[in-house]
Amino acid sequence: MKFWDASAVIPLLLREPNSLAIRKVLARDPGLVAWWGTPVECISAFARLRREGILSLGEERRLRGLMGRLVGDWTEVLPGNGVREQAGRLLLRHPLRASDSLQLAAAMVWADGNPGEREFVCLDRRLREAASQEGFRVVPEVLG
């Protein structure tokens, strides 16, 4: 199983430049772990793309439906004191946005605070760097 950040979940559902690389990661291991807030981040991205005229309302609805099915298949890290405490610690160590600190904190909780060789699937460069510094193996190794 791998921890999936929202930046990597979106290209599973929506064709983007890194979609092929992300789908290859999923094909090698279909077990997804994700933060409880990931669906909200993805829905936010879809709504923004609709407002910008990149997606139609129908396409946005289709993507939300796909997101709902994906959520039903993954292991979800729920909010709690452990995630909140980790997020605060991460914000002191790394130049992350609050939402990214929660993503990485959820991954740290999933890894019981010891990432070792656990994999973190992410496309956001700043979050990739922080996850790597925390000990995760970040995939895909190369971004397009």
Tens of pLDDT, residue by residue over 75-129, are 999 999 999 999 999 999 999 999 999 999 999 999 999 998 899 999 999 999 9
At residue 31 the predicted structure's pLDDT band, cuts being 50, 70 and 90, is: very high
At residue 141 the predicted structure's pLDDT band, cuts being 50, 70 and 90, is: confident
pLDDT at 144 over 70: no
Q: Residue 32: which of 107, 87, 104 has the closest Cα?
A: 107
Residue written as tokens 């559902």? 13
Residue written as tokens 């099915």? 69
Q: How far apart are CA 30 and CA 27, in angstroms?
A: 6
Cβ contacts of 37 within 8 Å, gap of 6 or more:
79, 99, 102, 103
CA angle 59, 143, 64 (to 5 degrees): 20
pLDDT at 40 over 80: yes
At residue 137 the predicted structure's pLDDT band, cuts being 50, 70 and 90, is: very high
Averaged pLDDT of the chain? 96
Cβ contacts of 77 within 8 Å, gap of 6 or more:
33, 34, 35, 36, 83, 106, 107, 109, 110
pLDDT at 142 over 80: no
Among 18-22, 38-42, 139-143, name the one with the lowest average pLDDT.
139-143
90 and 96 in contact (C-beta within 8 Å)? yes
pLDDT at 131 over 90: yes
pTM here? 0.94
